[in-house]
Chain A
Amino acid sequence: MPTQYRIKQRVLRHPFSDGSGTAFYDPTTNVISSINVNIDDLNDILGGHKSLTDEESDVLSQLLSQQLIED
């Protein structure tokens, strides 16, 4: 069973309405981040139900390294 992730509850997120990506801010760690993935595609990536492209794997790695998501 592939790992499923979710955005940490404390992390603020803003999916941009032009579909260009999603902004994040973690007020506890002061990490500010942005990914070029809209919220629907992000949910797919986090859900673990699909095999990821290289770009999607990079997004997952970025969010994990910034500790914005948890399993």
Chain B
Amino acid sequence: MKTKALTYDFVLSLPPFVFKVKNNIKFVFENACAMYGEACSEQLAGDEFIDFTLSINDGGGLRKIFKPQARFLCDEKEPFKPLTHSQAYAMLEWGMNWTVAAHEFSYVIIHSAVLEKDGKAILFPAPPGSGKSTLTAFLANNGWRLMSDEMALITPNSKTVTPFVRPICLKNASIPLAKQWFPDSVFSSIAKDTHKGDVIHMAPNKSAMLGKQQTAEIVGVVFPNYDTTKSLEIYQLNMAESYMQLVDNAFNFTAIGEPAFSTITRIIEQVRSFEIFYNDLKDVEAFLSEDVID
């Protein structure tokens, strides 16, 4: 008699998307529950439909015993090579990012953190290593509402950004710092030795989850650069400079085409853009509150 393998399937209701996750790795389910709270459930709510069906699994077979892996699938396709088993939860989070960036065309998507205060949103587009996520974690726990750590979903031909509330991905040296600064926050298990180094996810806080359907208007774009040698240096970018930096961080510009071009040029025309270098997060917060959203 064949025994049915244990599964820990779940649904993540993360406006504006709903993910169905087929899963046979227990700690992935436990981490998802810890990160998303009520937004993680075993069944679809009555009025929802699934946008994306994902799978995270250990692959099975002999490898499961000798060298267990984690495999990610989106609609039965496997876009990435397997990772080691202990990185399965991080792989799911990255896979969700990839899924939205690769398939969602009703928004212009910028690789950017988004934080909001008083109904005003600031985009923080940045490549890995810029300190974006550490800054995001700090702001999200100091009076700002986390709308996204990873992607700005912008309604075409507008300045309206829609939240996509997800955990904040922290890496290496920022992990002990975040645990020290925010002892009440919820953290995932650590994924060690990933291509980004050691990685942990920090759950969005209550204000972020409460505001998960509350859009905001973009009032500024800030390109952050953490630099231990520099106290706060601020450079206002001209529009041509800002355009190329935003385009470099756009996930789906060419897939969307003309609406992406008009959306990005409109934002640049209507809000100020800055590049900042900093080594003190409090200085950045003061600059944002006093000079960007005011």
Q: Which residues of A contact B (CB under 8 A)?
A: 12, 14, 16-18, 20-23, 25, 27, 30, 32, 34-36
Contact = CB atoms under 8 A, between A and B. Distances in A.
Contacts of B193: none
A14 B265 contact: yes
Nearest to B237: A20
A14 B260 CA distance: 13
Contacts, number: 46
A30 B254 contact: yes
B236 to A, nearest CB: 10
A65 B124 CA distance: 32
A23 B261 contact: yes
A34 B243 CA distance: 8
B280 interface: no
Interface of B: 238-241, 243-244, 247, 253-254, 257-258, 261-262, 265, 268-269
Contacts of B254: 30, 32
B239 A20 contact: yes
Nearest to B238: A20
B46 to A, nearest CB: 42
Contact of B247 (A20, A32, A36): A32
Contact of A14 (B238, B253, B261): B261
Contact of A17 (B239, B241, B262): B239
Contacts of B239: 16-18, 20-21
